């Protein structure tokens, strides 16, 4: 009996050992067959690769891609980041694996200034995001909505031309003037008010000031997002500042919303109703079953925050970069003026309906988007499950960064990539059929995939109209002592891509006097 019991125990132990080691072997084989992680530069303890990013991360990541390839990995504090630096790799992420990368990672700016990730830009992919996207697409960015509000953009650009004409001969801060025009066009569309002419109004210019502060904080690189204990300590006081700015903004936008609630009518946006009034009206009839897809005051505030921050600086920066490039290339500037003269004449300003008939001007805009994308690093994506890209394993929960700036300078795609050459986009040029709408991954200044910039079409219309109007209406000159060869073209870095040195220039009118009268 004892021998039988001993035999049974021996067989049991043998079986357990067999299954244990066999399971370990299977796990090892599985790990052996899993693709490797993307290459990663050696980092620091705790900080990882954070100290290596520098003040201009888009340029740093571009340099790293030359060593580690078009897909590499970074460890930023406790966060795993994968960086795509080529069109083919970006296409795999945002076309083939678009659903897997449809979420956004959480960050302090979205938490404390975008109403805890309730905005369109920062909402998780789901019912609320789809509802907000549909609202914007149909009521703000559709062809009909854009055409209905065309007069707003044209009036603001005409007012800009009038201001520049009055300042003939003076040295102008071009970006500041353009930003006022772009922001006024945006806030007229959203709120039916011009924030850059309200210094003496009921808000005492507060709304303009708080928008500037929100843009500054949104553009800041927050190390707290990567090292959790720093966020808890708030050693730099940045979270406290975000909360203060948010309270300031929320007070102002709440007052504006209360004013709108008292006059909300039944007209459509194109019939005189601004976007906020339309949202407030829809809120009352929005009876969806999904709680997340219901409009409320907080979600409306969050959406407006997105539209204010995404729609002003990106557009005005693009216009400023385009004019700077034309000042550096006076032959292209003269050719563009001749093209516009032939289509528009000299007795009126450019209208949006003219823009389809000026291929050189359109090519100038594409080349500006290529060399100076409004957002150099696309807003980050978050992987919802593990996947494989270009033979590398991408873990679940990885943050994806698409280096748009680097892709636009890829010498394997673009000949003489650092040269400003609109001719590459003209008929007969190598890239004549390339557009910026997200289908050609070599040129994606507005991103790509389902989370492509919702305001792309508005941004394209406003920036193209502004550049065309300013090129057509004025001759442009650099201040005394500056030449096209020594014009500073250094980039700064933030959420957008501003110039380090604001563009300064002088203008003289080149159209008939009646063209500047509005």
Q: Which of 14-28, 257-271, 427-441 has the highest mean pLDDT?
A: 427-441
Question: What confidence tier does 16 reach under pLDDT thresholds 50, 70, 90?
Answer: very low
Q: Which residues are annotated as a binding site?
A: 453
Contact 241, 269 (CB under 8 A): no
CB-count exposure of residue 27 (10 Å: 0-12, 13-18, 19+): exposed
Q: Which two tokens stand for residue 514?
A: 């009646």
**Helix residue ranges per DSSP H, 372-411:** 404-407
Q: How far apart are CA 452 and CA 444, in angstroms?
A: 9
Question: What is the β-pairing status of strands 474-477 and 399-402?
Answer: unpaired
Region 169-189 average pLDDT: 94
197, two tokens: 């002419």
> Residue 365 class from Cβ within 10 Å (0-12 exposed, 13-18 middle, 19+ buried)?
buried
Residue 12 confidence (pLDDT): 38
Instruction: Please report the pLDDT score of residue 195 as a whole number.
Output: 80
Average pLDDT in the 326-340 region? 98
Residues marked as binding for heme? 453
For residue 509, the cross-strand partners are 474
Look at 147-151, 189-193, 356-360 and tell me which has the smallest mean pLDDT.
189-193
Task: pLDDT band for 5, please (50, 70, 90 cuts).
Answer: very low
DSSP state of 387: E
Q: Which residues are registered as beta bridge partners of 505?
A: 172
Structure tokens at 319: 């216009």
pLDDT, position 3: 42
Q: Taking residues 82-101, what's their average pLDDT?
A: 97
Angle formed at CA 159 by CA 343 and CA 300, multiple of 5 degrees: 105
* Percent of all residues in the chain with a pLDDT value above 90, rounded to a whole number: 72
pLDDT the model gives residue 433: 96
pLDDT per residue over 397-445, tens digit each?
A: 999 999 999 999 999 999 999 999 999 999 999 999 999 999 999 999 9
The dihedral built from the CA positions of residue 495, 497, 500 and 501, taken in this order, carries a sign that is negative
Does the predicted model carry a pTM greater than 0.85? yes
- 326 SS3 class: helix
Query: Which whole number is the average pLDDT over 223-242?
Result: 87
**pLDDT tier for residue 226 given thresholds of 50, 70 and 90:** very high
Instruction: Tell me the pLDDT tens digit for each residue of 460-518.
Output: 999 999 999 999 999 999 999 899 899 999 998 877 889 999 999 999 999 999 999 87
Higher pLDDT, 285 or 116: 116
Predicted confidence (pLDDT) at residue 313 exceeds the cutoff of 70: yes
CA 417 and chain centroid, separation: 22
Q: Residue 27: is its pLDDT beyond 50?
A: no
For residue 288, what pLDDT is reported?
57
Which domains are seen in the chain, by residue range?
57-516 (1.10.630.10)
Least confident of 49-53, 214-218, 450-454: 214-218
State residue 264's pLDDT score. Answer: 60
Calculate the dihedral angle through the C-alpha atoms of 294, 297, 301, 304, rounding to the nearest 10 degrees: 60
Question: What pLDDT band is residue 132 in, cutting at 50, 70 and 90?
Answer: very high
* pLDDT, averaged across the chain: 88
Q: How high is the pLDDT of residue 34?
A: 85
């Amino acid at each position: 009996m004892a021998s039988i019991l001993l035999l049974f125990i021996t067989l049991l132990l043998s079986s357990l050992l067999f299954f244990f080691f066999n399971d370990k072997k299977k796990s090892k084989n599985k790990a052996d067959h899993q693709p490797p992680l993307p290459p990663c530069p050696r980092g620091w303890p705790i900080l990882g690769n954070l100290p290596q990013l520098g003040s201009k991360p888009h340029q740093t990541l571009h340099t790293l891609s030359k060593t580690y390839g078009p897909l590499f990995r970074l460890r930023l504090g406790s966060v795993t980041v994968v960086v795509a630096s080529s069109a083919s790799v970006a296409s795999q992420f945002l076309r083939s694996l678009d659903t897997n990368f449809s979420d956004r990672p959480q960050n302090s700016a979205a938490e404390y200034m975008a109403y805890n990730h309730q905005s369109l830009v920062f909402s998780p992919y789901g019912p609320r995001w789809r509802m907000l996207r549909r609202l914007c697409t149909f009521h703000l960015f559709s062809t009909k909505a854009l055409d209905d509000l065309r007069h707003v953009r044209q009036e603001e650009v005409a007012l800009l031309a009038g201001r520049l004409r009055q300042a003939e001969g003076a040295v102008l801060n071009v970006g500041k003037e353009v930003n006022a025009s772009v922001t006024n066009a945006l806030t007229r569309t959203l709120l039916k008010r011009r924030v850059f002419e309200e210094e003496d109004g009921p808000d005492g210019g507060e709304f303009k000031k708080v928008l500037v502060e929100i843009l500054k904080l949104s553009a800041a690189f927050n190390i707290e997002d990567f090292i959790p204990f720093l966020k808890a300590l708030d050693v730099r006081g940045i979270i406290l500042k975000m909360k203060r700015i948010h309270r300031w903004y929320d007070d102002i936008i709440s007052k504006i919303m209360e004013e709108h609630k008292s006059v909300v009518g039944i007209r459509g946006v194109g019939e005189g109703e601004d976007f906020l009034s339309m949202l407030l009206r829809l809120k009352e009839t929005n009876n969806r079953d999904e709680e997340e897809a219901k409009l409320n005051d907080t979600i409306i505030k969050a959406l407006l925050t997105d539209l204010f921050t995404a729609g002003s600086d990106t557009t005005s920066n693009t216009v400023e970069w385009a004019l700077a490039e034309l000042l550096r290339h006076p032959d292209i500037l003269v050719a563009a003026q001749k093209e516009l003269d032939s289509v528009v004449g000299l007795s009126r300003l450019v209208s949006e309906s003219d823009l389809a008939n000026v291929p050189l001007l359109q090519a100038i805009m594409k080349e500006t988007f290529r060399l100076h994308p409004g957002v150099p690093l696309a807003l980050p994506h978050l992987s919802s499950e593990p996947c494989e890209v270009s033979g590398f394993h991408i873990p679940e929960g990885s943050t994806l960064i698409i280096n748009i700036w680097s892709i636009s300078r890829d010498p394997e795609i673009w000949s003489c990539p650092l040269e400003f050459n609109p001719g590459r986009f003209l008929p007969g040029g190598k890239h004549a059929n390339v557009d910026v709408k997200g289908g050609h991954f070599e040129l994606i200044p507005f991103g790509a995939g389902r989370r492509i910039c919702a305001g792309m079409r508005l941004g394209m219309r406003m920036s193209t109209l502004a550049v065309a109007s300013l090129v057509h209406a004025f001759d442009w000159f650099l201040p005394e002592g500056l030449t096209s060869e020594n014009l500073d073209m250094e980039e700064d870095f933030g959420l957008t891509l501003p110039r380090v040195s604001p563009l300064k220039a002088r203008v003289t009118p080149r159209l008939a006097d009646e063209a500047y009268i509005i």
